[in-house]
Amino acid sequence: MKRSPLKRSTKPIQKKRNTPRRSSRVRDPVFLELVRRLACCAAHLDTRMDTRMGTCSPTYKTIEAHHMGRRGLGEKSHDHEAVPLCAAHHRDWHNCTGVFKGRDRAWRAGFAEGVIAQTRDLVTRWRTNLKTEPCRFGRAQGCYEAGVIEPCLPCKVRENESKVPA
């Protein structure tokens, strides 16, 4: 039996999207930088860390901004839902080990909700204080107008606030 070739469609296959995908995720790099300057939010749960001072031990002092909010599969939550976790606790959160071992989904959701609210409150208060601070390098016009490569934190906060639409 002789086979006939398949009929081809007259319309070519579209290789790229006409418009790029835009995420609805709120991005705020200054907020993430402020979160990374806070202490680990899981230090009080851990007995293996040096928690007398309320922070993790110096061996785990790298703070990472973990996006802990609700999100869809394969998505990252808004930057305003990020919390500070040291490298060890961040790894424990994702692997469900360490202080998070045996914690059910409801406990983790409640913990995340409380820590997100606490972090957001801390960063908001810190931001309002930084807006009124002068430039740390003593520049009257600010770091951005002076053309500095790495501006100070108060200048970053003021610049980021000016970009946000009212």
Position 51 scores a pLDDT of 46
In percent, how much of the chain has pLDDT > 90?
19
Q: What is the largest CA-CA distance in the chain?
A: 87
Distance CA 41, CA 133 (A): 27
**What gap in Å lies between CA 120 and CA 124, rounded to an integer?**
6
Average pLDDT value over all residues in the chain: 79
pLDDT (0 to 100) of residue 156: 80
Please report the pLDDT score of residue 114 as a whole number.
92
> Rounded to an integer, what distance in angstroms lies between the CA atom of residue 87 and that of residue 49?
13
Residue 119: pLDDT band (50, 70, 90) is very high
Of the candidates 32, 127, 126, which has an alpha carbon nearest to the alpha carbon of residue 85?
32
Task: Please state the rounded mean pLDDT for residues 16-24.
Answer: 70
pLDDT for the residue 60: 56
Query: What are the sequence ranges of the domains in the chain?
Result: 29-132, 135-166
Per-residue pLDDT tens over the stretch 86-107: 888 899 899 998 888 899 999 9
Helix (H), strand (E), coil (C) string for the chain: CCCCCCCCCCCCCCCCCCCCCCCCCCCCHHHHHHHHCCCCCCHHHCCCCCCCCCCCCHHHCCEEEEECCCCCCCCCCCHHHEEEEEHHHHHHHHHCCHHHCCCCHHHHHHHHHHHHHHHHHHHHHHHHHHHHCCCCCCCCCCHHHHCCCCCCHHHHHHHHHHHCCC
Q: Which of 45-49, 78-82, 132-136 has the highest mean pLDDT?
A: 78-82
Q: Region 17-39: what's the mean pLDDT? A: 81
Instruction: Give residue-wise pLDDT tens across range 38-72.
Output: 888 888 787 655 544 445 755 556 889 999 888 77
The pLDDT score that the predictor gives to residue 150 is 75
Judged against a pLDDT cut of 90, whether residue 115 lies above it is answered with: yes
Asked if pLDDT for residue 4 goes beyond 70, the answer is yes
- Which whole number is the average pLDDT over 4-30? 74
